[in-house]
Amino acid sequence: MRGKKLLIVSYTILVVVLASSAVALVKAQTTTITLNPSNYVSHSLGEKITMSIVVNNVQNLWSWDVFVSWDPSVLNLTGVSQGSFLKNAGSTFFIPLSEENGTVEELSCSLLSLTSVSGSGVLANLVFNIMKEAVNSQVILLNTTLVGPVPYVGGSNPKIDHQVENASVTLILGEKPVANAGQDQTVDQGTQVVLNGSRTASSDPNATYIWSFIDGTLKTLEGKIVNYTFNTPGTYNIQLFVQDSNGNSTDTTEVIVKDTTAPVPKIFIENYVLGQPIIAQELVTLDGSASTDPYSTIQNYIWDMGDGSAMIEGNPVPHAYNAPGTYNVTMTVVDAAGNNATAFLNIEVTSGNALTSTTSIKLNPYILGILSVITALAVGGSVFWFRRRR
């Protein structure tokens, strides 16, 4: 009894093994037409896909014909070429698909001789560009026909039974990167700025990072983290462009560069002639309008006349020194950014009673004129008196 049970179990196992082998043998001998790859995962827009039409386990193939269907909004057909399966057997008559985009086109090829080919191989290659993101976008083979050579004159081409494995081609774009250019910054001019894009969300280690901005001219820097020194004050809008295998993304950051350059102060005295003395108790006008600033404007002038008087703001400023002496004048200029600088000027003040060569020169013409009049009158009077005496 036990022996019978063992015999039944052994027989059952043998049947299962034989059945499995038969199924595998039938499947191995079944003629199929397939698309390869049958499931393609895309990584970026514009990517090219080469998809092959493959025949498997065919016997005595002389000619084939298929229709191809795809979604033209997702895929753009850019090229079609004949495969090697029939081509290696001899000359062929190949009718390719039109390379214009379409949903259904006819594709066929025939040997020019009555020879035939058996086995497996590539019938044709299709090249598509990915136009947009899509899930489960299908490329399908329709109305497929496989025939052998005409067996005799007047006969018809025998059709070859086959199966079409129209598994869909899945085109799934990965998530696009999310660029992150970092926080806005405020720095002093001449300070090195660190532009950090490391918070960008990207799963692609080969992603590229390009920074662009205007600093006099267009500047571009490449790298996830870059350094740059702004020497000119202003507000800079900096764009980060991130490109990876799944697409691209942009983000911007703002860098405010503060003006830290001091103005250049200059003092002059209005209507002053070099060498001319400044007289005590006479007004002189001090002027700082020749002061300059390379990046800003002068906002205020602060004067210390050096004689103990109160500070004066504004420009220009009149002032009179009460007593002779040497006075150290300082003028501090402040620009719109708050930067300041000071200029110094020593002023010599003399007494108003001292005659100078300049003053004497100015008086001499008047004195000479008076003396000339007096002389003329004296001479004239003398002549008149002399004539009367005679």
Instruction: Kindly indicate the confidence band of residue 169, based on its pLDDT and cuts at 50, 70 and 90.
Output: low
- pTM of the model as a whole: 0.49
Domain covering 262-381, topology: Immunoglobulin-like (2.60.40)
Cα separation of 139 and 313, whole Å? 83
> Which among 219, 228, 242 has a CA at the least distance from the CA of 185?
228
Is 2.60.40.680 the CATH number for 30-165? yes
Average pLDDT rounded to a whole number, residues 363-385: 41
The residues spanned by each domain of the chain are 30-165, 185-258, 262-381
Average pLDDT rounded to a whole number, residues 91-99: 85
Which of 154-158, 255-259, 374-378 is least confident?
374-378
Is 3.30.1300.10 the CATH number for 185-258? no
- pLDDT of the residue at 271: 85
Which of 16-25, 35-44, 138-147, 203-212 is least confident?
16-25
- pLDDT of the residue at 153: 66
- pLDDT of the residue at 11: 46
pLDDT at 234 over 50: yes
How far apart, in Å, do the first and last CA atoms of the chain sit?
Answer: 199
CA max distance for the chain: 199
Which of 27-31, 174-178, 316-320 is least confident?
27-31
- Whether the CB-CB separation of 351 and 338 falls below 8 Å is answered with no
Average pLDDT over the chain reads 82
Cα separation of 220 and 222, whole Å? 7
Question: Tokens for 69?
Answer: 């269907």
Equal CATH topology for 30-165 and 262-381: yes
Q: Which DSSP state fits 178?
A: B
Cα separation of 340 and 238, whole Å? 30
pLDDT at 129 over 60: yes
Q: Is the dihedral of CA 201, 205, 206, 212 positive or negative?
A: positive
